[in-house]
A and B are shown apart, each in its own frame.
Chain A
Amino acid sequence: MKALDRTTWTLTWRLTRAGGRTGLLATGLAVAAVAISTALLLVCVAGNLGFQQRADRIDWRNPVKSAAPVAVEAVGTTFSGGTPVTVVDVAQLPGEKAPAPPGMTHFPEPGEVWVSPALADLLGRLPADRHPVPGTPAGRLGRAALAHPGELVAVVGHKPTAAAVTAPREDDPRRPGDTITPTRVADFTGKPVADGIGEGYVALMKVATILVVVPLLVLGASSARLSVSRRDERLAALRLIGATPGRIAGMTAAEAALTGAAGALLGAAGYALLLPAAARVSVAGGSWYAADLWVGLPVLLAVLAGIVAMVIGSALIGLRQVVVGPLGVARRSRPARMSAVRALVFVAVILGYAQFTADKKSDINGVLAFFAVVFLALSVIGPWVVGVLGRIISARARQAATLLAGRRLLDDPKGAWRTVSGLALAGFVAGFFALFGFVGSSPWGSPDTLAVAVPKSREAVVQHKARERLEHAGITATVGSDTDWVAIGGGENSVQVTATVPGGTENLERARTALASLVPGQYPVAGTDIDWSGKLFAQDFTTATRVVLGVTFLTAIASAGITAASSVLDRRRTYGLLRLAGTPLRVLDAARRKETLIPVAVLAGGSVLTGIFCAAPLTLAGGSSSLDAGGIALLAVCFGLGIAGLMGASALSRPLLRAVTERAGPSPE
């Protein structure tokens, strides 16, 4: 292709190198923006893949019944200091040769206990009377058995006749996957736990990715345009000496490719450097295996290629706007009105989303895909709203700065939208998260009472045994029974035997150890244990909210700053001549500020409402959706910081405005 021949690359390289300090600064800024976008995008992709890998690795703990079994597998969950400890009981069936469970070198002999490294550490730290699992560990479970390095897991070998692998266990729907009745299996492949906490995290990560990716793309695109704005005069000069539009487009694409590739590679390097730090972040109960956060070469190359293509595309779109003819004069005629079809499209998408979430609420992937469409639809209606605002402001303006701002909005609504789109999208994110609140305390039982479910017929016997064990362990406790159902019961013929243990967590943990195996297959649970996954998710959700909001707002403010600088460069000649003719810098600056702040105020309000609207039908792992004081506070903080950030970003380009207007002045002529 002639537009991308050797001459194009040589000229591009020369222009890039000969750009001087400002040139290098703009190129550096563009490269940095692309690098940051790439690194964060890769972290998002890594998070998605990582959660999937975590989820895949614990499938073996959700056994699938087989017609040709070789072993029995049962799962229970006990707790230590509020942290869940998964205990997998296994037994080889007589005459069969069972394969080794994941993360183990052989099938455990009866009485043999294997524990995860984190559980081994915990057992080493705790006195024996508080050990959540009995016995001395014979081996350490490998990575293949664990979701994350900090997970507390034990695999206990039994005889096939042992109660641990024969007594049926009641599945508690409040904590999916925590208890699995003995199941005869042919292998340890297993299947995903339906409605488990893993699904919630995968969904949360997808939402977070959608919310982060779009502002990141906006940032990448603005930086690409900044580069073009800076070069328009030189490219126009090349047109003047006969360079064809194809050659100019080729040069722009070549420069964007160089900038994009440099930024993408730097971003990939940044991602690689971030990996160890990212792996230390505790999510869903623990930090990560670094390998889980490695996206793999094909995905890495695909992301890098996508980023470079996006940068080239943005630069070419920017080029169309700045280089019109050989004289570099952008001839503007009456601006075409933004079609109201944009508003109709947005309304249709919103209505579609409402309908879809009402009909197919359980199709989380479908809902998330539609959610992404709504997010993108904001970019469809955004320029239309800016155009309408421009018309209103132009018609009602009394001051020069307001008139300039209004006309500018009306003249180039898409350009004005680009400046504010990041913050509008961030407003959507804030609105979305403002609606989620999580229940703070367990509605079940009392935190100092342990419970196990028993048939009514065994109530007295179990109570007696419980008293004996507690007394033997030197623990003062009140043993009784009720039907409050902290432990999951077996219907009308069941009760739960309770032990109320005063004296704090340590005593409770000692009682828990003493009462282990009181009822085969059951671990005593306290009320606070029931919603452990909900609490964990709420904690992580709060962290995720802060991270996502932080990233979206920072990228939005960075985009706004870059676009503001780009806009000053685009209009530097006009600004310069107006300044020479006596227009005060503050008027030009006030116009710039108004053309940003007015649409932000309106659009951010609209996008916050859209975010709230989108969140309303969603519930993530038990999260309720209602606007409470916390949500309102979140919105207020985001709005305040967003406006302050935008003002700051605008103020940062004021020196550039001053410089370009001064540069329009005298030269040694």
Chain B
Amino acid sequence: MSSYGTAAASPVLAGTGLMKSFGLTRALAGVDVSVWAGESLAVMGPSGSGKSTLLHCLAGIERPDEGQVLLAGERVDHLSEPHRSELRRTRFGFVFQSGQLLPELPADENVALPLMLGGMPRRRAVHKAREWFPVLGLAGKEERRPGELSGGQAQRVAIARALVGSPQVIFADEPTGALDQITGMEVIDLLVDITRKQGAALVVVTHDEQVARWCDRTVRVRDGHLTEHDRTPHTARGARYDR
């Protein structure tokens, strides 16, 4: 696990002039967005606004039609799919709404999977994966199957899996969407906190204002455009959540 991160002079991830269309539907119409190491960014917007497409373009899941994506100053949007796939596996981490854990693997092996995919021997990978369980409040749950975990616990396992490879950026797509409010807030709190401690950047796509308040910054997407930038310092975030 890496040490507490600090903001750097240049963004760890930046998208400039991003445009993306699906047939006649324009999902992104020239978006500029950046995120710094240790920072959390909420991407909000109504359904169909293009927020998930923005995440997919930034994460190398999809290539933008125009514009570019820079990771630590290097352009990554023009890489081939195998290279982008490797990039996603080694330098990014992902947390989805649900269903991302392999039901047949116990929790520790689910977390160890990205390390094993990177060539780490199983024993070492599982050992390293297990180090995350107490950190995420999952001590004793290492050998449980996803079906034996609550929704919140399963999302924590997913967070551990996203973080285990020490990525530079974590992408979370509606990470609390399948959880009740209390559990959802606990999960987002943990996600934001631990990402910052790792010195990674966090990009959260959400339609939930409560979730966005936990992030350092919020951008809003409407009809493929970025309409609003919220540059509230992250130090105030805790106080803004009304429990």
A587 in the interface (beta carbon within 8 A)? yes
A359 in the interface (beta carbon within 8 A)? no
Contact size range, A: 20 to 34
Alpha-carbon distance between A332 and B146 when the two chains are bound, in angstroms = 7
Please, which residues of chain B bring their CB within 8 A of the CB of A666?
20, 22, 27, 52-53, 56, 61-62
Q: Which of B47, B94, B146, B148 contacts A669 (CB 8 A)?
A: B47
A410 in the interface (beta carbon within 8 A)? yes
* B221 CB to nearest A CB, Å: 10
Alpha-carbon distance between A219 and B147 when the two chains are bound, in angstroms = 31
The interface centre, meaning the residue of A335, A400, A578, A667 with most chain B CB atoms within 10 A of its CB, is A400
Q: Which of B87, B122, B148 contacts A334 (CB 8 A)?
A: B148
Q: Quick one: given A403-B116, A407-B104, A667-B22, are A398 and B121 in contact (CB under 8 Å)?
A: yes
Contact indicator A574/B102 (Cβ below 8 Å)? yes
A129 in the interface (beta carbon within 8 A)? no
CB neighbors of B among A561-608 (8 A): 573-574, 577-584, 587
Q: Quick one: given A329-B99, A411-B104, A582-B88, are A669 and B52 in contact (CB under 8 Å)?
A: yes
Contact indicator B88/A580 (Cβ below 8 Å)? yes
Please, which residues of chain A bring their CB within 8 A of the CB of B113?
400, 403, 583
Please, which residues of chain B bring their CB within 8 A of the CB of A399?
116, 122
Q: Which of A332, A403, A577 contacts B103 (CB 8 A)?
A: A332
Alpha-carbon distance between A404 and B110 when the two chains are bound, in angstroms = 10
* A327 CB to nearest B CB, Å: 8
Contact indicator B122/A582 (Cβ below 8 Å)? no
Q: Which residue of A lies closest to B45 (CB)?
A: A669
Contact indicator B109/A577 (Cβ below 8 Å)? no
Q: Quick one: given A333-B148, A666-B62, are A398 and B122 in contact (CB under 8 Å)?
A: yes
The secondary structure that dominates the B interface is mixed
Q: Which residue of A lies closest to B102 (CB)?
A: A574
Alpha-carbon distance between A407 and B101 when the two chains are bound, in angstroms = 13
Q: Which of B93, B94, B100, B102 contacts A404 (CB 8 A)?
A: B102
A277 in the interface (beta carbon within 8 A)? no
CB neighbors of A among B71-120 (8 A): 82, 85-90, 92-94, 96, 98-105, 109, 113-114, 116-117
Q: Which residue of B lies closest to A591 (CB)?
A: B102
B238 in the interface (beta carbon within 8 A)? no
Please, which residues of chain B bring their CB within 8 A of the CB of A652?
none
B48 in the interface (beta carbon within 8 A)? yes
Alpha-carbon distance between A271 and B103 when the two chains are bound, in angstroms = 44
* A567 CB to nearest B CB, Å: 12
Q: Which of B93, B99, B117 contacts A574 (CB 8 A)?
A: B99
A665 in the interface (beta carbon within 8 A)? yes
Contact indicator A582/B145 (Cβ below 8 Å)? no
Contact indicator B51/A669 (Cβ below 8 Å)? yes
B235 in the interface (beta carbon within 8 A)? no
Please, which residues of chain A bring their CB within 8 A of the CB of B102?
404, 407, 574, 578
A331 in the interface (beta carbon within 8 A)? yes
B198 in the interface (beta carbon within 8 A)? no
Alpha-carbon distance between A574 and B146 when the two chains are bound, in angstroms = 12
Please, which residues of chain A bring their CB within 8 A of the CB of B199?
none
Contact indicator A408/B61 (Cβ below 8 Å)? no
B25 in the interface (beta carbon within 8 A)? yes
Contact indicator A577/B100 (Cβ below 8 Å)? yes
Q: Quick one: given A403-B116, A582-B89, A584-B117, are A332 and B145 in contact (CB under 8 Å)?
A: yes
Q: Which residue of B lies closest to A331 (CB)?
A: B147
Contact indicator B117/A587 (Cβ below 8 Å)? yes
Proximity bits, A297-334, B CB within 8 Å = 1, else 0: 00000000000000000000000000000000111111
Alpha-carbon distance between A407 and B105 when the two chains are bound, in angstroms = 6
Please, which residues of chain A bring their CB within 8 A of the CB of B85?
579, 582-584
Please, which residues of chain B bring their CB within 8 A of the CB of A582?
85-90, 92, 94, 114, 117
4 additional A-B pairs beyond A329-B99, A330-B103, beta carbons within 8 Å, are A333-B145, A335-B104, A411-B104, A666-B56
| Chain B residues within CB distance 8 Å of chain A | 20, 22-23, 25, 27, 47-53, 56, 59, 61-62, 82, 85-90, 92-94, 96, 98-105, 109, 113-114, 116-117, 121-122, 145-148, 162
Can you list 11 A-B contacts with CB-CB less than 8 angstroms, sorted by A residue number? A398-B122, A410-B104, A574-B101, A578-B102, A580-B94, A582-B117, A584-B86, A666-B53, A667-B52, A668-B48, A668-B53
